[in-house]
Amino acid sequence: MKALFIRLVLKIIPAVQILPVSILRFSLNVLYRISSKLTVKVLQHVSLEKLELVKCDFIKKSHILTALESDVFKYQVIAEESYEAVRTPDIFKITKNNFVNLQRAEICLYLFENASFYPKSDIISFNDQVFWEKANRSEFSQMIPVDSDFLAIDFPEKNLYHFIEKKVQKFDVGFSLCGVHTGAWGHFLISYIPKIMSLAYVKDSTNVVLILPKNIHQHHREMVDLFLEAHFLDKKIQIKCVEDDVVVKCERLFYCNAIGFLADNALIVSPASSCISKYGSEVTAEFLKFLHGRVPDSRSRKIYIGRGAGRNLTNSDEVEDYFKAKGFEIVYPHLISLTEKIEIFGNASHICGPVSSGFTNFIFCKNKVKILGFFNYARAFDPFISGLNHAGKLGHEILFVTGYEPPSTGINNSYYIGLEKVIAACEEISYLD
């Protein structure tokens, strides 16, 4: 009966906007008792005006703190605001040695009292206000927020409408390593792991619980352990993992804001959609010295990173066969253990394939490698990989190749790259020599 009801709700979601307020309020209250997740999906189709009228107990309107209003909650300034020269990738027959000067916001450790958050959200809520850093950035105008509790925003009035979950997990003193991008391997490595360094500024960090989402890959959790071993071995920091469908409440919450900038989702992509900061890259590069000590010596590897999801080559079989004939092995990084991943990538000489988070595994490479990535044009200027390589002074040689994709409003399309173009790109950088 419950499953039938859920299927019915999913079918009528687009029609919720035309329901009278009284009927919508009643329906939402019934739905909330059945499924919080489904309630959020419905609410995200309700207009701002109607959300204001519905006034269910699980809908909250909060003031979004401006950057200036947030200053009072700063515990420690870690890196001053600056403009940084971010390297975009070399793209075959399009661009080479290109940089953009992007603003990197001030990196701070914040301390909030009686604050709450969702594991898959960047919204920090307390009293009737929220710290939601990305809403104060210029790039927000082209962003599609994917915070799990986000409903709508009244931007002129700086008001946020968000969802209040009925399940709560409480901590006395917490440090959040949670957020929108925690599920993506590359994002977690580059944007979340470096945040842990800010614990060094907490006077008694052994009393702080490091809070992680439970629903992340085991590799994420193991990398946190490795980072703590590298930098906080004497601290014995506690780690707790929380379910996605709870509100985490802390009497005192330490929170490090974004190390760089990564858009949630968008209709367009520009080089400003990602800013991989010099600070985060340097923290990662320092961590690599520890990781490379864990790489056992083995034979040199040529790796083709397989991709099963979207944003893939439409002629992937043809391209994979070409590289297999050249001595490459197909590797799906998320399907092997972290120990295997460290050994395979640690001894790599070449990496290629459709660009994905798997490419950030080049951080394990203890030698300089040649990287050839295939990408759809809409995403090709994203400096996610090249930015880290440059700012962290890792020295790998990187070239991207774009192909044909049908005109679309999407940014994650699959694409076609003819084998002759792949071969030409290999020759340009002597990739197979």
* Per-residue pLDDT reduced to its tens digit, 216-237: 999 999 999 999 999 997 778 8
Q: Determine, yes or no, domain membership for 138.
A: yes
DSSP state at residue 189: I
| Phi-psi group of 430: left, alpha or beta (phi > 0 → left; psi -120 to 50 → alpha; rest → beta) | left
Whether residues 151 and 182 share a domain: the answer is yes
Q: Is 284 within a domain?
A: no
The domain boundary residue, chosen from 250, 267, 284: 267
**Mean pLDDT on 197-209:** 89
* Helix, strand, or coil (residue 203): coil
91 occurs within a structural domain: no
Q: How confident is the model at residue 20 (pLDDT cuts 50, 70, 90)?
A: confident
Q: Which residue has the tokens 């858009």?
A: 263
Q: Does 368 share its domain with 393? A: yes
| Tens digit of each residue's pLDDT (9 = 90 or more) over 136-180 | 988 888 889 999 999 999 999 999 999 998 899 999 999 999 999
Fill in the amino acid letter for 205. Answer: S
Domain boundary among 267, 284, 317: 267
Helices 218-231 and 338-346 cross at an angle (nearest 10°) of: 70
Whether residues 206 and 110 share a domain: the answer is: yes
181 and 39 within one domain? no
| Together in a domain, 52 and 152 | no
Contact 40, 73 (CB under 8 A): no
pLDDT of residue 35: 86
Residue 22 lies in a domain: yes
Does any domain span residue 275? no
Mean pLDDT, residues 184-198 taken together: 93
Domain hosting 365: range is: 294-428
SS (H, E, C) 290-301: HHHCCCCCCCCE
Residues 117, 1: one domain? no
Residues 76 and 136 grouped into a single domain? yes
Residue 377, classified by CB atoms within 10 Å of its CB into exposed (0-12), middle (13-18) or buried (19+), is middle
pLDDT in the model for residue 12: 60
Q: Does 128 lie in the same domain as 262?
A: yes
What is the domain count for the chain? Answer: 3
Q: Is residue 147 part of a domain?
A: yes
Same domain as 325, residue 213: no
* Residue 100 forms part of a structural domain: no
Last residue of a domain, one of 57, 73, 95: 57
Residues 255 and 298 both lie in one domain:
no
Residue 274 lies in a domain: no
CATH number at residue 388: 3.40.50
Judge if 330 and 355 occupy the same domain.
yes
In the three-class reduction of DSSP (H, G, I as helix; E, B as strand; rest coil), residue 265 is classed as coil
Both 248 and 299 in a single domain? no
* pTM of this structure: 0.92
pLDDT at 370: 97
